Amino acid sequence: MKLFRHGAAGAERPGVVDAKGGLRDLSAHLAGFDAAALSAEGLARIAAIDPAALPMVPDGARIGAPVPRPVNFICIGLNYADHAAESNLPIPEEPIIFLKAGSAYSGPFDDVVIPRGSKETDWEVELGVVIGTAAHCVTEADALDHVAGYCVVNDVSEREYQIKRGGTWDKGKGCPSFGPVGPYLVTSDEVPDPQSLDLWCEVDGRRMQDGNTRTMIFGVRTLVSYVSQFIALLPGDIIATGTPPGVGMGIKPNPVFLRPGQTMRLGIAGLGEQAQKTIGG
Our count of domains for the chain comes to: 2
- The residues near 141 (Cβ < 8 Å, ≥ 6 apart) are none
53 and 117 in a single domain? The answer is: no
Answer yes or no: do 113 and 89 share one domain: yes
3-state SS class at 38: helix
22-57 burial, b at 16+ Cβ within 10 Å, e below that, comes to ebbbbbeebeebeeebbbeebbeebeebebeebeeb
| CA distance readout (Å), 266 to 76, 86, 139 | 19, 20, 32
What are phi and psi for residue 162, nearest 5 degrees? -70, -40
Do 51 and 157 belong to one domain? Answer: no
Report CA torsion sign: 10, 261, 259, 155. positive
* Eight-class DSSP state of 162: I
What does R_g of the chain's alpha carbons equal in angstroms?
Answer: 18
The confidence band for 190, taking pLDDT boundaries of 50, 70 and 90, is very high
Most confident of 49-63, 88-102, 160-174: 49-63
> Do 150 and 198 have their domain in common?
yes
Stretch 96-115: mean pLDDT: 97
154 and 36 housed in the same domain: no
Report how far residue 36's alpha carbon sits from residue 186's, in angstroms, rounded to the nearest whole number.
Answer: 17
Q: What is the dihedral of CA 196, 191, 27, 273, to 10 degrees?
A: 20
Q: Of the residues 17, 41, 63, which one is the last residue of a structural domain?
A: 63
Q: Is the dihedral of CA 82, 230, 199, 62 positive or negative?
A: negative
**Which structural domain range is residue 155 located in?**
65-280
Residue 169 pLDDT more than 90? no
DSSP structure class, residue 47: H
For residues 179 and 198, membership in a common domain is answered with yes
Last residue in a domain, options 63, 92, 110: 63
Residue 197: the pLDDT is 98
Specify the CATH number for the domain of residue 236: 3.90.850.10
pLDDT (0 to 100) of residue 195: 97
* Residue 84: band (very low, low, confident or very high) from pLDDT cuts 50, 70, 90: confident
Give the lowest-confidence range in 23-37, 42-56, 88-102, 209-223: 88-102
Q: How confident is the model at residue 86 (pLDDT cuts 50, 70, 90)?
A: confident
Q: What is the dihedral of CA 150, 41, 221, 236, to 10 degrees?
A: 50
Tens digit of each residue's pLDDT (9 = 90 or more) over 222-267 = 999 999 999 999 999 999 999 999 999 999 999 999 999 999 999 9
Residues 179 and 193 in one domain: yes
Considering the domain architecture, whether residues 12 and 87 belong to the same structural domain is answered as no
pLDDT band at 88 (very low <50, low <70, confident <90, very high): confident
Residue 131 has what pLDDT? 98
pTM: 0.96
pLDDT at residue 35 in the model: 97
Contact at 8 Å (CB) between 181 and 100?
Answer: no
* Virtual torsion, Cα 112, 115, 117, 120, nearest 10 deg: -60
The verdict on 220 and 206 lying in the same domain is: yes
How confident is the prediction for the chain on average, in pLDDT? 96
Q: What percent of the chain has pLDDT over 90?
A: 91
Are 76 and 32 in a shared domain?
no
The verdict on 71 and 117 lying in the same domain is yes
Torsion of CA 228, 232, 238, 239, to 10 degrees: -20
Residue after which a domain boundary falls, among 63, 84, 106: 63
Predicted local distance difference test score (pLDDT) of residue 64: 98
Q: Residue 77 above 80 pLDDT? A: yes
Q: Can you list the alpha helix ranges (DSSP code H) found in 9-65?
A: 35-38, 40-47
- In a shared domain, residues 130 and 231: yes
